[in-house]
Amino acid sequence: MNRRGRKAQARIQIRKLRQGEVGLLQGARNLLDHPLDNRAARHLLADPAHHLWLASSEHRVVGFLRSVELLQLHTPRRQMFLYEIAVRPDSRGQGVGSMLVEAMLQYSRGRGFEEAFVLTDDPANKAAHALYKSTGGRTETTGDRMYVWHLAHSAKRRTRSTSAGRFISHPHFTGTP
Ligand SMILES: CC(C)(COP(=O)(O)OP(=O)(O)OC[C@H]1O[C@@H](n2cnc3c(N)ncnc32)[C@H](O)[C@@H]1OP(=O)(O)O)[C@@H](O)C(=O)NCCC(=O)NCCS
């Protein structure tokens, strides 16, 4: 990241949305795949298994991440599924996506989740692959479109030695850790 990017990153605030904070989502509506439905958003934010993080710079939303936690059959530990992430085109390449992923990893690790994972939509999406790799996500088979961040060191079913998802505690993370 260049100097301009680092300066921009210093201004980014990451916030985890709480129940009822639908109004704040309005700022992210241009980043969503579908028009925002306030009722649906309120419903999602009221569900403790669904999570939304916003990245803002000078009161403008510049990115968001949505994830959902999953129960598993082999362990009481949960998985976090990174369902979608997007950064405004004029704010890309400045570390916003990394900060959002790291906030999600911090939250998941702090609650003892086994792992987080994401499915990439397109092998040609270089930015997405670079983002997941640079935050510690690992693919497990050739041609895999799934990146995994291992969060619990006792993940017995993994045979390959893969590093735990890198997490850098960020001073600008203001959401519930
Ligand atoms: C993917 C996306 C969220 C990345 O967000 P971002 O804020 O630009 O990412 P960052 O600035 O944190 O960059 C993370 C890493 O990816 C690298 N990177 C970012 N854009 C890149 C690009 N176009 N090509 C190659 N590498 C890229 C950065 O250099 C950085 O690597 P580093 O940590 O080793 O320096 C953003 O490009 C986006 O919103 N794309 C459209 C939506 C999308 O594709 N979502 C993912 C669907 S699977």
Ligand 1 atom closest to Cα of residue 135: 33
Domains and CATH numbers, the chain: 13-169 (3.40.630.30)
What pLDDT is attached to residue 10? 76
The C-alpha atoms of residue 42 and residue 133 are separated, in whole angstroms, by: 32
Ligand 1 atom closest to Cα of residue 122: 48
What pLDDT is attached to residue 162? 31
Centre of ligand 1 to C-alpha 128, Å, is 5
- Alpha carbon nearest to ligand 1 atom 30, residue: 131
What pLDDT is attached to residue 56? 97
Q: How many residues does the chain have?
A: 177
Is 129 touching ligand 1 by the criterion CB < 6 Å?
A: no
What pLDDT is attached to residue 4? 61
The C-alpha atoms of residue 16 and residue 171 are separated, in whole angstroms, by: 14
What pLDDT is attached to residue 141? 76
Burial of 81 from C-beta contacts in 10 A (0-12 / 13-18 / 19+)? middle
pLDDT digits (tens, 9 = 90+) for 105-151: 999 999 999 999 999 868 889 999 999 999 999 998 777 788 999 99
- Write phi, then psi, for 37 (nearest 5 degrees): -110, 115
DSSP string over 99-144: HHHHHHHHHHHHTT-SEEEEE-S-TT-HHHHHHHHHTT-B--STT-
What pLDDT is attached to residue 135? 97
Centre of ligand 1 to C-alpha 43, Å, is 30
CB 67 within 8 A of CB 104: yes
- Alpha carbon nearest to ligand 1 atom 37, residue: 127
Is 94 touching ligand 1 by the criterion CB < 6 Å?
A: yes
Which stretches of the chain score pLDDT less than 70? Answer: 1-8, 121, 153-177
- Alpha carbon nearest to ligand 1 atom 21, residue: 127
- Laid out side by side, the sheet with 60-70 consists of 12-16, 50-57, 60-70, 79-87, 115-119, 146-150
What pLDDT is attached to residue 7? 63
Is 95 touching ligand 1 by the criterion CB < 6 Å?
A: yes
Is 168 touching ligand 1 by the criterion CB < 6 Å?
A: no
What pLDDT is attached to residue 167? 31
pLDDT digits (tens, 9 = 90+) for 99-115: 999 999 999 999 999 99
pTM equals: 0.86
For 162, the enclosing helix (H) or strand (E) is: none
